[in-house]
Amino acid sequence: MLTVPSELHGRPFTASQAAEADDRELLRIGDWLVRRDHVDLLELRGFVLEQHLDGVQRARRVAPLVRENVDSAKESDVRWILWSSGLPVPEPDLPIVDEHGVRVARGDLVYVRWNVVVEHGGWHHERDADQRQRDHLRRERLEAFGWRVIVVTVKDFDDERSIAWRVHQALVERGYRGARPRCGWQDPPNSRTARIGGLHPPHRGDGGG
């Protein structure tokens, strides 16, 4: 039985708010519910298929994106940005191992196929010297084993297009041959011909692979 918590990310939360949430917020909610063990991932997906409540069509669209072990709302946001731009969606919180199967690190958002890791560094990472050092050494280990690391900071969310383009560039460097980001503009940020626009979910059938 799916139960709705009274708080979400430390703020009051009601079922009516879930019904009114946009797709991006629904992904945050779904990731959080599964992470906090309010619902099993498969139970959540089954629930939205069976129900006929307000907003269920949006919930059905978002439910396949919900994952276990998403550590923060910002990680949900990064995954949403990448999905809505048409890029492949990385898997959260995966162990990264060397050629002998020994764990090197655990990645926030991981593209195993292309050896690319997307890391979210929140304010606590930037303000805490010990945490910054741990992050620095961890990223050095990843790069030494051939992984490309993209770090997304709080400031990057001022221009979310840049997140999609940086990840796309890293994927291309590692052999990705899929479509360019589709985020309401045609060229990377800072290009003379860049057209600013909003992020829009891709049409079904032409996703990022």
In a domain, 192, yes or no: no
**What local confidence, expressed as pLDDT, does residue 1 receive?**
43
Joined together, the tokens standing for residue 152 give 């997304």
Number of domains in the chain: 2
pTM here is 0.73
From first CA to last CA, the distance across the chain in angstroms is: 33
Q: What pLDDT is attached to residue 6?
A: 46
Domain ranges, residue 28 = 7-65
Higher pLDDT, 30 or 185: 30
What pLDDT was estimated at residue 193? Answer: 36
* 99 and 148 both lie in a single domain: yes
Q: According to the model, what pLDDT value does residue 80 have? A: 93
Task: Tell me what pLDDT residue 52 has.
Answer: 57
Reported as a single tens digit per residue, the pLDDT across 173-203 is 999 999 999 865 445 555 443 333 344 444 4
Cβ atoms 117, 107 nearer than 8 A: yes
Q: Is the pLDDT of residue 2 over 50?
A: no
| In-domain check, residue 60 | yes
Residue 195 covered by a domain: no
- Residue of higher predicted confidence among 83 and 204: 83
pLDDT band per the 50, 70, 90 thresholds, residue 209? very low
**Lowest mean pLDDT, pick from 13-22, 118-127, 195-204:** 195-204
pLDDT given at position 104: 86
What's the pLDDT tens digit per position in 43-70? 777 766 666 565 566 677 777 878 888 8
Q: 31 and 88: one domain? A: no
CATH of the domain at 89: 3.40.960.10
Do 88 and 165 belong together in one domain? Answer: yes
Residue 133, phi then psi, degrees to nearest 5: -65, -45
- In a shared domain, residues 81 and 164: yes
Residue 160 lies in a domain: yes
One domain for residues 90 and 149: yes
52 found inside a domain: yes
| Residue 29 counted as domain residue | yes
In angstroms, the Cα distances linking 160 to 59, 73, 82 are 23, 15, 10
114, 82 Cβ separation under 8 angstroms: no
Instruction: Clarify whether residues 132 and 168 are in a common domain.
Output: yes
The residue type found at 140 is E
Instruction: Give phi and psi for 22, each to the nearest 5.
Output: -80, 175
How far apart (Å, rounded) are the C-alpha atoms in residues 31 and 29? 6
Together in a domain, 167 and 88: yes
Query: Please, which pLDDT band fits residue 18 given cuts at 50, 70 and 90?
Result: low
Q: Are residues 78 and 159 in the same domain?
A: yes
When comparing pLDDT for 203 and 130, which is higher? Answer: 130
Contacts from 192-195 at CB under 8 Å and sequence distance 24+? 194/161
| pLDDT, tens only, 145-172 | 999 999 999 899 999 999 999 999 999 9
Residue pLDDT, tens place only, 75-114: 999 999 999 999 999 999 999 988 888 898 889 999 999 9
Quickly list DSSP for 22-84: -HHHHHHHHHHHHHTTSS-HHHHHHHHHH---TTHHHHHHHGGG--S----HHHHHHHHHHHH
> Same domain for 28 and 103?
no
